Amino acid sequence: MPQAPQPNTPAATAAQQIDAGHFTAAEATIKTALAAPHLDSAQQQTLRFQRERMRRILLDFTLDADAAKAKLRKQIPDLSDAEFATWDAAGLLEKQVIDGRTLYFSRAPSNLFRLSAEARARRAHPVPFNDGPNEVLNDHHRAIRAAALRTGSTSVLPMREEVTQTLTVHADAVPAGETIRAWLPFPREIKGQAEGVTLVAHAPAAFATQPSDAVQRTVYLEAKAVAGKPTTFSVTWQATLYGRDFHIDPSKVVRAPITPDLQPYVAERAPHIVFTEAMRAYSKQVVGGETNPYRIAQKLFDAVDTIPWAGAREYSTLSNIGDYTLHAGHGDCGEQTLLLLTLLRLNGIPARWQSGWMFSDGTYNNIHDWGQVYLAPYGWVPVDVTSGRLHGDPSLEHFYLGGLDAYRVAFNDDYARPFQPAKTFPRSETVDSQRGEAEWRGGNLYFDQWDYDFRWHRVDAPGGGAPTRP
């Protein structure tokens, strides 16, 4: 894994130049630094990754103003230049000035309709957003609460799922005969959340499973590239998944003593969890004089929940995800989660990462990030600020602060941790592990060189489990 640049080093200088959009200057800094004698391998890797970060940013920021307008006019045919300029000046169209050239994020036009009610109202043919079915209050949430109250258990309504994930490297992305190495995520065994995790099948035949205590767990596979043909890796697993509901009584919550086991989860962890002055000011504004840990967590949860969801640039391109989300005014699930974790830790409330994959009984599925917060005397409880507040029943409004739907599986109990066996080149996703990773001896294979997919069915469904997705 590439290390965060140490302060007052050429890598730190290059990172700052990249964030400022001075790519030519950053390349000169990197080239000069790499030519210096006695540079150790870690320093070389950090510098080379800053060069790779520039390449990845340019893959995300592909639109000039005319191209951005053209995309918007597919939904707003009579869009005026003045209207575009107004939204642009309001920061609703994510962009970067790179070496004097203004480039817009490839998803900025579609994100605009997430961020602006005015833009949504201007669409000629509105199309519903493809949000998850559990982002609105429904019978599944009600059933979890009812079962938890009836049984006194915090883990209820188990269902056993069989899931197959594939990672397919494009034909001729790697020269014929070369070995492609792939890492596919594999579920964590988590008592009361995902139990009975079993590896059912995999292809190719040779494989290695990362130990069960690995916080970013994977199955490792190898295959030879064949000319003109894609290379597909697959892993099939089963797991019993539970809905969770701690139904927290705020009056019972007390501030937990910070034991050695909890200490890492109230600490900063650069580069993405840092207690900046802006973070402190925002926290003070939101929390005020509240002292009850649950009420503090609730205030922070509600505040971050007001930040609109929007499609994100690749995490590996961001120097500090929590800080970025605070200032960008939008964020996807991982960005919102890292912001919330930072704020909770800043307030002395232990908080940690969790992420994986979510699905439905229909065709919906998506990779997803959420977290856990430690609230004594309940212990570690789920928190999903992206699913956010559920409106329609005050007793279930904060279900996702202490509760979790059953339609998800965690691959990760932390972020940015090394794989076993180790990856030679920096990962495509340096923070999360959900889509998978691939490389060959010539370098990392980035997201534009392969595709991934999930298929699933209920194992214990009547009649043996009809597939819930073709």
CATH of the domain at 258: 3.10.620.30
- Which of these three, 401, 431, 447, is where a domain ends? 401
- Which of these three, 375, 401, 427, is where a domain ends? 401
What is the predicted pLDDT for the residue at 6?
85
Question: What is the rounded CA–CA span in Å between residue 411 and residue 211?
Answer: 13
Selection from 54, 48, 43, 44 nearest residue 18 by Cα = 54
Question: What is the rounded CA–CA span in Å between residue 74 and residue 360?
Answer: 30
Do 314 and 426 have their domain in common?
no
Question: What is the rounded CA–CA span in Å between residue 310 and residue 330?
Answer: 6
- Which of these three, 61, 79, 97, is where a domain ends? 61
Do 257 and 389 have their domain in common?
yes
Selection from 397, 381, 399 nearest residue 256 by Cα = 381
For residue 99, the SS3 value is coil
DSSP strands (E only) in 74-138:
95-98, 101-105
Do 347 and 291 have their domain in common?
yes
What is the predicted pLDDT for the residue at 2?
67
Q: Is residue 4 part of a domain?
A: no
Give me the domain span that covers residue 448: 138-243+414-464
121's tokens? 């109202």
Q: What is the pLDDT along the chain (470 residues), one digit of tens a residue?
A: 666 788 889 999 999 999 999 999 999 999 999 999 989 999 999 999 999 999 999 999 999 999 999 999 999 999 999 999 999 999 999 999 999 999 999 999 999 999 999 999 999 998 888 899 999 999 999 999 999 999 999 999 999 999 999 999 999 999 999 999 999 999 999 999 999 999 999 999 888 888 888 999 999 999 999 999 999 999 999 999 999 999 999 999 999 999 999 999 999 999 999 999 999 999 999 999 999 999 999 999 999 999 999 999 999 999 999 999 999 999 999 999 999 999 999 999 999 999 999 999 999 999 999 999 999 999 999 999 999 999 999 999 999 999 999 999 999 999 999 999 999 999 999 999 999 999 999 999 999 999 999 999 999 744 333 333 33
What is the predicted pLDDT for the residue at 1?
66
Do 222 and 187 have their domain in common?
yes
* 218: enclosing H helix or E strand: strand 218-224
Do 266 and 232 have their domain in common?
no
For residue 88, the SS3 value is helix
Question: What is the rounded CA–CA span in Å between residue 346 and residue 285?
Answer: 13
370, 356 in Cβ contact below 8 A? Answer: no
Q: Is residue 368 part of a domain?
A: yes
Total domains present in the chain:
4
Q: Is residue 470 part of a domain?
A: no
Q: Is residue 408 part of a domain?
A: no
Q: Is residue 1 part of a domain?
A: no
Q: Is residue 133 part of a domain?
A: no
Do 75 and 51 have their domain in common?
no
Do 379 and 260 have their domain in common?
yes
243, 373 in Cβ contact below 8 A? Answer: no
